[in-house]
């Protein structure tokens, strides 16, 4: 099962990296979203995988999933939401100010004034 | 709690509180800020006065609290003679300046801002002179640099003000860094950052191999702050400040901070070769350079600025002599200089105010217009020149005597006499060119005596010059001796202060100086011709600007070399170097196997299917990423799969959070997508795609190996502590939530602050943004103009209370079952977003018009207050308390203070999320109006 989760992390990482290498803001945002998934799952997996042992204390149960990475990842999810939202808004503003949604200076020069 | 336990921090912190207070008061009425500033200053003086008996008895008062233990930083204060003297100068002259500025500032200037900055500066300055911990001194030292920046550039619309402020900040800031480094070394030498320890360990410090570098760093801090050669150039440029600021900072206080440090560390450093050579040389050169340029300046404030530079050099020189008597004279001259120089600056302010110019070429014969001011300036200028019977004369005589006795050779007294002559020269020039001679006809206005009140502070200072001159033993001697005790840390030598010491060499030197001054003034035309021909073009700004520009150039070159304006390259560099470092770490430096031998969980068919689904969806996002809407929908599916993973592996809280975040994010991106092109152009070459894919695969392999490596290794977590103490220590059975709101609440606090900042940042970025709203969709169809579906609107309206109820339920049970502030906040946000979807932007923006800023702010505040309450109760910050209440009907009910914290989290999440959506909605409305008009 660990191998499968590692595969998931690998897919998400690869997808994320590929997308942030694209030259348009929207693709970069998608890529960053995907990278956040990858990082969150990775962090979560650091507490190892546990099936049917949620960290809710119950009488007579002694084995629980590791709650610490979970707490970390919970806030990480919310923070990555904040980051994504900020990026989106930034990309809107950038489109307005720069008249293009290209991410590089060179690309901006080339694409200035393009209407789509 | 009495003054002897908290008096000193009270003196220092009162102005800081006052700064906030007057800024607030000025909203009600501008003059209230004046009263507030005056009151605060008086209060500080009063506290100081009540503690003054301690230094007068030659004792030291230390008040100390542990601040940051791990770096030996204590919040500790010290009151001894020298600190008291400076504190009196700072607060006393500060009071006069507060009074003066009330009449000086015009009705267009923001009085609240001025007094706020002024108090900020006063507090920082008091902090320097009353600190016991040397790191704390550096802390306040930096604060004076910052607050003086604000004060110098008070008239923000003036370019020379901004430039002068910048220059002062660069020079004193650089010196501050040097001082910081030296204090760190010093503290390391003696093993403590407390001044009392440092002062008692001269032997260790002087013998230490690092003494010389430490001392050079120290002296750099001192020289830059006190405008000593070759760093003196910033002071004349700082004269662009409002005159009360110059009178306060650039004569009496800030420029004396460096001198203060010389006095403070006098017992430790003085007498060493480094001290004697550097301090004496710099002192003499500054003395001469300052006095020389002062004589030739036409701008009254520049004249005074150079004169200040010169006098500071004189004081520095005296400390350089390293004898107790010289130190005593230095302290005496500090007092005298503060009195007459502050007064002279205030006079220039009045002249400037009345005539609208400070240029001596345009001024003259003002005596008949303002006899009172002229008389005052004659007293103060005479004191500056060292003419009897004023205080400046006494200290000058004593300085001459020290130069003869302690000066290392005949050169020092000769140079001193020369500088004295220059001082007499510029003082005569100040008075005669300003008030006597031909009446000027170059003025646009007719000057007259200013209002009575503005002259009051000058009257007092001039009176000080006279009575200190006439009866010094009565007025100033006890204070002087107490201060000198503070400098030397032993009983100071007995001296007799008086005007007349008989015919002796110092008197002769004084006589020569006066003679020289008179001759210089008499021959000034000839001298000015010479000066204009050879020296007038010397401008310290040229090398300074060259230096700054070349630094910018170098920085730009480095920047251009690394950063080529292509994110793509940076990402490549980042990922490849990470990968290489990883390989290095695990192969060459790593010891042991990469993979561990832990038993793995068995693979099940459904899991394989899920992973396959993830693979397919990720691949589809990549392949279809140019069709933006579709790729967005698919990435939503990826998010859902991720939440399934969380759910499968025993993390219900995470699954809940992920699902709700996913929803909010997708709606948000959808909204934004409306303004972005619907398709990405096809612009990558095949080669680029191939290399990108290669890099992506490398990254994926790296992540895979790393993940498997960790998960197959031995598992020895620290979380057992949390599981064992969750119920007994945190009062909840949902361990994840207890960690969030109790064990690691500080982290959570930081995170909600970040989220709040993101929300407010988004608000700021979207301010006034109008975008081009397309009227066609991707395929060229008109956007639907249909009104929002009525059934959906009705049903979602009905659902809203229920959804909010669910949020409350999730919130309340969070401590014991999956849920909590984050998730409840997101659910509430989703409930509101559904209204958004159903009712449209305009409709719901109108209804969601509560103050989101307030919500975010109060959320953070509530969370912080919960922590403070536990501090007040004597527990560490953010410790939660809980108890059980027996309610009728409901039964045993648990009340935890953590729930208050969680409310804070909830409010921030709701506030930030709704803020983002509503702001985007507002952009939408504005843009539509824009498009319709088109």
The reply to whether residue A17 touches residue B822, judged by beta carbons under 8 angstroms, is no
Q: How far apart are CA B506 and CA B399, in angstroms?
A: 8
pLDDT digits (tens, 9 = 90+) for B301-341: 989 999 999 999 999 999 999 898 899 999 999 999 999 99
Q: So what's the ipTM on this one?
A: 0.94
Q: Which of A46, A50, A67 sits opposite B736 (nearest CB)?
A: A67
Domain boundaries, chain A: 2-52+61-111
Q: Is B579 exposed, middle or buried (0-12, 13-18, 19+ CB in 10 A)?
A: middle
Q: Tokens for B535, please give them.
A: 């020296």
Give the distance from residue A5's alpha carbon to the nearest chain B alpha carbon, in angstroms: 8
The reply to whether residue A45 touches residue B710, judged by beta carbons under 8 angstroms, is yes
Q: How far apart are CA A116 and CA B136, in angstroms?
A: 58
Give the distance from residue B303's alpha carbon to the nearest chain A alpha carbon, in angstroms: 49
Q: Is B527 exposed, middle or buried (0-12, 13-18, 19+ CB in 10 A)?
A: middle
CATH topology assigned to domain A2-52+61-111: Helix Hairpins (1.10.287)
Q: How far apart are CA B142 and CA B172, in angstroms?
A: 9
Q: How far apart are CA B252 and CA B335, in angstroms?
A: 9
Q: How many pairs of residues across A and B have Cβ atoms under 8 Å apart?
A: 298
Chain A residues close to B726, C-beta within 8 Å:
57, 67
Estimate to the nearest angstrom the gap between the alpha carbon of A115 and the chain centroid.
Answer: 30
Compute CA distances B872 → B635, B742, B866, whole Å.
48, 17, 10
List B residues 702-761 in contact with A (Cβ-Cβ < 8 A). Answer: 702-704, 706-708, 710-712, 715, 717-719, 722-723, 726-727, 733-736, 739-740, 744, 747-748, 751, 754-755, 758-759, 761
The reply to whether residue B675 touches residue A54, judged by beta carbons under 8 angstroms, is no
- pLDDT attached to residue B930: 55
pLDDT digits (tens, 9 = 90+) for B192-227: 899 999 999 999 999 999 999 999 999 999 999 998
The reply to whether residue A103 touches residue B567, judged by beta carbons under 8 angstroms, is yes
- pLDDT attached to residue A115: 43
Exposed e or buried b for every residue in B302-337, given b needs 16+ CB within 10 A?
Answer: bbbbbbbbbbbbbbbbbbbbbbbbbbbbbbbbbbbb
Neighbours of B77 (CB within 10 A): 26
Residues facing residue B131 across a β-bridge? B77
The reply to whether residue B651 touches residue A18, judged by beta carbons under 8 angstroms, is no
Tally DSSP H helices, then E strands, for chain B.
39, 4
3-state secondary structure of B771: coil
List B residues 822-841 in contact with A (Cβ-Cβ < 8 A). Answer: 822, 826
pTM of the model: 0.72
List B residues 570-609 in contact with A (Cβ-Cβ < 8 A). Answer: 571-572, 575, 600-604, 607-608
Any chain A CB within 8 A of the CB of B773?
Answer: no
Q: Are B259 and B316 in contact (CB under 8 A)?
A: yes
The reply to whether residue B628 touches residue A26, judged by beta carbons under 8 angstroms, is yes
The reply to whether residue B739 touches residue A8, judged by beta carbons under 8 angstroms, is no
Q: How far apart are CA B86 and CA B335, in angstroms?
A: 9
Q: How far apart are CA B285 and CA B291, in angstroms?
A: 10
Any chain A CB within 8 A of the CB of B460?
Answer: no
The reply to whether residue B751 touches residue A85, judged by beta carbons under 8 angstroms, is no
Q: Which of A3, A7, A90 sits opposite B765 (nearest CB)?
A: A90
Q: Are B365 and B435 in contact (CB under 8 A)?
A: yes
Q: Are A103 and A89 in contact (CB under 8 A)?
A: no
Q: How far apart are CA B253 and CA B260, in angstroms?
A: 10
The reply to whether residue A11 touches residue B614, judged by beta carbons under 8 angstroms, is yes
Q: Are B395 and B336 in contact (CB under 8 A)?
A: yes
Neighbours of B867 (CB within 10 A): 22
Angle separating helix axes B254-264 and B134-152, nearest 10 degrees: 160
Give the distance from residue B633's alpha carbon to the nearest chain A alpha carbon, in angstroms: 11
DSSP letter (8 states) at residue B239: G
Mean pLDDT throughout A30-41? 94
Q: Are B114 and B105 in contact (CB under 8 A)?
A: yes
Whether the per-residue pLDDT at A114 is higher than 70: the answer is: no
Q: How far apart are CA A38 and CA A76, in angstroms?
A: 12
Backbone angles phi, psi at A24, to 5 degrees: -115, 145
- pLDDT attached to residue B895: 66
Q: Which of B654, B661, B679 sits opposite A70 (nearest CB)?
A: B654
Neighbours of B595 (CB within 10 A): 12
The DSSP annotation for B141-164 comes to HHHHHHHHHHHHT-STT-HHHHHH
The enclosing H or E element of B76 equals: strand B73-79
Q: Tokens for B119, please give them.
A: 């108090």
| Pick from B340, B321, B318, B339: nearest CA to B329 | B318
A95 contacts: CB under 8 Å, gap ≥ 6: A25, A101, B675, B676, B771
Domain boundaries, chain B: 274-522, 733-934
Mutation site for A-interface testing, chosen from B612, B645, B720 by largest number of A Cβ within 10 Å: B645
Mutation site for A-interface testing, chosen from B678, B740, B758, B763 by largest number of A Cβ within 10 Å: B758
| Pick from B912, B926, B930: nearest CA to B763 | B912
Q: Tokens for B672, please give them.
A: 């934004």
Q: Are B24 and B451 in contact (CB under 8 A)?
A: no
Give the distance from residue B859's alpha carbon to the nearest chain A alpha carbon, in angstroms: 16
Give the distance from residue A114's alpha carbon to the nearest chain B alpha carbon, in angstroms: 10
Neighbours of B33 (CB within 10 A): 29
Residues facing residue B76 across a β-bridge? B64
3-state secondary structure of B549: helix
The reply to whether residue A51 touches residue B618, judged by beta carbons under 8 angstroms, is no
Give the distance from residue B582's alpha carbon to the nearest chain A alpha carbon, in angstroms: 16
List B residues 637-676 in contact with A (Cβ-Cβ < 8 A). Answer: 638-639, 642, 645-646, 648-654, 657-658, 661, 664-665, 668-669, 672-673, 675-676
B303 contacts: CB under 8 Å, gap ≥ 6: B294, B297, B360, B426, B429, B430
Any chain A CB within 8 A of the CB of B861?
Answer: no
Give the distance from residue A105's alpha carbon to the nearest chain B alpha carbon, in angstroms: 5
Exposed e or buried b for every residue in B130-157, given b needs 16+ CB within 10 A?
Answer: bbbbbbbbbbbbbbbbbbbbbbbbbeee
Whether residue B389 is preceded by a cis peptide bond, meaning omega within 30 degrees of 0, is yes
Give the distance from residue B602's alpha carbon to the nearest chain A alpha carbon, in angstroms: 6
Angle separating helix axes B159-190 and B211-225, nearest 10 degrees: 150
Q: Is B503 exposed, middle or buried (0-12, 13-18, 19+ CB in 10 A)?
A: exposed
Residue of chain B minimizing CA distance to A74: B654
Chain A residues close to B652, C-beta within 8 Å:
54, 56
Q: Tokens for B174, please give them.
A: 């650089």
Q: Tokens for B329, please give them.
A: 């004279």
Q: Are B270 and B322 in contact (CB under 8 A)?
A: yes
The enclosing H or E element of B51 equals: helix B30-51
3-state secondary structure of B679: strand
Residues B630-634: contacts with CB within 8 Å, 24+ apart? Answer: B631/A30, B632/A30, B632/B666, B632/B669, B632/B670, B632/B673, B633/B666
Q: Which of A9, A22, A85 sits opposite B668 (nearest CB)?
A: A85
B398 contacts: CB under 8 Å, gap ≥ 6: B329, B332, B495, B497, B506
Whether the per-residue pLDDT at A104 is higher than 90: the answer is: no
Those residues of chain B that have pLDDT short of 70 are: 1, 540, 775-780, 783-787, 878, 881-895, 927-934
Residues facing residue B359 across a β-bridge? B299
Give the distance from residue A4's alpha carbon to the nearest chain B alpha carbon, in angstroms: 7
Q: How far apart are CA B326 and CA B463, in angstroms?
A: 26
Tokens 């500090």 locate to B334
Q: How far apart are CA B157 and CA B137, in angstroms?
A: 33
Tokens 């309206």 locate to B797
Q: How far apart are CA B586 and CA B652, in angstroms?
A: 35
Tally DSSP H helices, then E strands, for chain A.
4, 0
Chain B residues close to A104, C-beta within 8 Å:
565-568
């Amino acid at each position: 099962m660990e191998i499968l989760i590692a595969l998931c992390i690998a897919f998400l990482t690869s997808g994320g990296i590929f997308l942030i290498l694209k030259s348009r803001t929207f693709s970069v945002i998608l890529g960053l979203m995907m990278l956040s998934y990858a990082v969150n799952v990775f962090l979560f997996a650091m507490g190892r995988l546990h099936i049917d042992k949620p960290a809710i204390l119950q009488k007579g149960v002694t084995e629980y999933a590791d709650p610490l990475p979970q707490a970390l990842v919970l806030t990480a999810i919310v923070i990555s939401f904040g980051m994504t939202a900020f990026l989106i808004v930034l990309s809107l503003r950038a489109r307005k100010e720069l008249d293009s949604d290209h991410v590089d200076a060179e690309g901006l020069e080339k694409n200035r004034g393009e209407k789509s | 709690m009495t003054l002897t336990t908290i008096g000193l921090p009270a003196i220092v912190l009162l102005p800081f509180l006052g700064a906030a207070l007057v800024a607030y008061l000025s909203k009600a009425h501008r003059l209230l800020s004046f009263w507030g500033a005056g009151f605060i200053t008086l209060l500080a003086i009063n506290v100081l006065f009540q503690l003054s008996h301690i230094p007068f008895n030659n004792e030291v008062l230390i008040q100390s609290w542990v601040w940051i233990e791990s770096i030996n930083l204590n919040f500790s204060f010290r009151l001894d003679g020298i600190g008291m003297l400076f504190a009196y100068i700072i607060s006393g002259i500060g009071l006069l300046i507060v009074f003066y500025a009330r009449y000086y500032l015009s009705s267009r200037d923001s009085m609240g801002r001025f007094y706020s900055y002024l108090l900020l500066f006063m507090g920082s300055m008091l902090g320097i002179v009353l600190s016991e911990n040397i790191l704390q001194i550096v802390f306040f030292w930096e604060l004076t640099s910052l607050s003086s920046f604000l004060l110098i550039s008070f008239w923000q619309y003036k370019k020379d003000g901004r430039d002068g402020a910048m220059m002062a900040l660069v020079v004193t800031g650089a010196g501050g860094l040097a001082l910081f480094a030296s204090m760190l070394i010093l503290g390391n030498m003696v093993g403590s950052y407390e001044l009392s320890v440092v002062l008692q360990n001269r032997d260790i410090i002087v013998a230490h191999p690092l003494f010389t570098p430490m001392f050079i760093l120290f002296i750099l801090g001192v020289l830059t702050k006190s405008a000593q050669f070759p760093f003196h150039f910033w002071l004349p440029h700082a004269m662009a400040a409002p005159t009360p600021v110059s009178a306060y900072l650039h004569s009496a206080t800030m420029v004396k901070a460096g001198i203060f440090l010389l006095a403070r560390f006098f017992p430790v450093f003085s007498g060493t070769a480094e001290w004697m050579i550097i301090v004496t040389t710099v002192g003499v050169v500054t003395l001469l350079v300052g006095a020389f340029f002062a004589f030739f300046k036409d701008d009254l404030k520049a004249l005074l600025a150079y004169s200040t530079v010169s006098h500071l050099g004189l004081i520095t020189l005296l400390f350089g002599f390293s004898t107790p008597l010289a130190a005593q004279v230095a302290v005496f001259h500090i007092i005298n200089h503060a009195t007459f120089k502050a007064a002279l600056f205030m006079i220039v302010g009045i002249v400037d105010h009345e005539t609208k110019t400070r240029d001596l070429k345009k001024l003259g014969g003002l005596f008949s217009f303002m006899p009172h001011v002229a008389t005052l300036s004659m007293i103060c200028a005479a004191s500056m020149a060292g003419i009897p019977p004023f205080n400046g004369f006494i200290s000058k005589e004593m300085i001459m005597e020290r130069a003869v006795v302690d000066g290392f050779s005949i050169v020092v007294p000769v140079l001193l006499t020369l500088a004295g002559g220059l001082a007499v020269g510029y003082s005569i020039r100040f008075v005669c060119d300003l008030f006597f001679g031909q009446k000027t006809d170059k003025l646009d206005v007719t000057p007259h005596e200013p209002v009575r009140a503005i002259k009051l502070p000058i009257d007092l200072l001039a009176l000080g010059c006279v009575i200190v001159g006439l009866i010094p033993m009565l007025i100033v001697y006890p204070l002087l001796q107490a201060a000198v005790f503070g400098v030397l840390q032993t009983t100071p030598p007995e001296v007799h202060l008086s005007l007349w010491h008989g015919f002796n060499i110092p008197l002769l030197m004084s006589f020569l100086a006066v003679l020289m001054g008179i001759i210089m003034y008499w021959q000034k035309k000839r001298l000015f011709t010479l000066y204009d021909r050879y020296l007038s073009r010397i401008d310290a700004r040229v090398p300074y600007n060259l230096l700054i520009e070349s630094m910018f150039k170098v920085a730009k070159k480095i920047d251009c070399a690394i950063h080529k304006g292509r994110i793509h390259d940076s990402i490549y560099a980042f990922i490849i170097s990470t990968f290489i470092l990883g390989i290095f770490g695990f192969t060459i430096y790593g010891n042991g196997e990469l993979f561990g031998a832990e038993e793995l969980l068995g693979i099940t068919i459904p899991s394989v299917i899920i992973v396959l689904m993830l693979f397919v969806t990720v691949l589809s996002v990549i392949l279809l990423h140019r069709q933006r809407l579709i790729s967005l929908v698919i990435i939503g599916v990826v998010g859902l799969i991720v939440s399934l993973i969380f759910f499968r592996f025993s993390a219900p809280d995470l699954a809940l959070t992920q699902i709700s975040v996913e929803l909010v994010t997708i709606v948000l991106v959808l909204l934004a997508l409306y303004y972005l092109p619907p398709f990405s152009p096809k612009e990558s070459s095949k080669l680029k795609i191939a290399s990108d894919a290669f890099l992506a695969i490398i990254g994926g392999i790296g992540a895979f190996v790393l993940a498997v490596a960790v998960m197959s290794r031995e598992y020895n977590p620290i979380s057992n502590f949390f599981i064992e103490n969750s119920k007994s220590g945190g009062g909840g059975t949902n361990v994840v939530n207890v960690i969030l709101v109790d064990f690691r609440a500080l982290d959570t606090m930081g995170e909600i602050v970040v989220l709040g900042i993101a929300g407010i940042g988004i608000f700021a970025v979207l301010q006034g943004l109008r975008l081009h709203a397309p009227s066609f969709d991707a395929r060229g169809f008109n956007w639907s103009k249909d009104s929002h579906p009525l059934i959906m609107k009705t049903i979602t309206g009905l659902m809203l209370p229920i959804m909010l109820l669910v949020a409350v339920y999730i919130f309340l049970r969070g401590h014991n079952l999956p849920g909590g502030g984050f998730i409840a906040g997101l659910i509430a946000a989703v409930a509101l977003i559904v209204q958004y979807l159903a009712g449209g932007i305009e409709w719901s923006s109108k209804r969601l018009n509560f103050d989101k800023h307030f919500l975010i702010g109060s959320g953070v505040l509530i969370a912080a207050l919960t922590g403070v309450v536990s501090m007040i109760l004597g527990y560490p910050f953010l410790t939660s308390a809980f108890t059980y209440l027996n309610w009728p009907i409901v039964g045993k009910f648990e009340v935890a203070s953590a729930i208050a914290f969680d409310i804070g989290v909830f409010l921030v999440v709701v506030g930030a999320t709704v803020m983002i959506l509503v702001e985007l909605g507002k952009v939408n409305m504005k843009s539509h109006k824009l498009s319709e008009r088109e």
